[in-house]
Amino acid sequence: MRIYTVCVSLLAVFFVTACDWDFDSNSFDYNLQGTWVTNSGGYYSGTLIITSDRITIQGYQALWSNDNQCPFKDFPRGYPLKGYSDKGKLFIEYGGVLKEIPYEYTAIYPSPYYDRERYLLLHFGGRPESLIAYETSY
């Protein structure tokens, strides 16, 4: 029985090493992963595509003026950037700099017959901007 335990332990170590898994805890929260689009009536128009460790920003130019308060103004559009979330903040890396953007996440379950609605609230220069998850079914 002892030889069996040693063999299983060695196989597990070799398996984890061979798979080259990254056990880095810096990832986006599971609830944030997906495609987020600007909710109607916002000052900005854009889309965020969030995977476990990347965020792609599309759009996010002000609709009515050139506003320097948008937290995405310094990031390239359409390019997956490294990032993660932690304690109500998005952390996005670009050009060796890590930028911090506060957010609030809310999920609403209208009734047992409908999918949940997921909302992401960002504050751009004091203005709240709401995004809604594009995929509502999981």
Instruction: Tell me which residue of 113, 138, 115, 120 sits closest to 38, measured CA to CA.
Output: 120
Q: What percent of the chain has pLDDT over 70?
A: 70
pLDDT at site 16:
45
* pLDDT tens-place string over residues 61-94: 655 555 677 778 788 999 999 999 999 999 999 9
Find out whether 129 and 43 touch, Cβ atoms under 8 Å.
yes
Residue 13 pLDDT > 80, yes or no? Answer: no
Calpha distance 66→99 (Å, rounded): 21
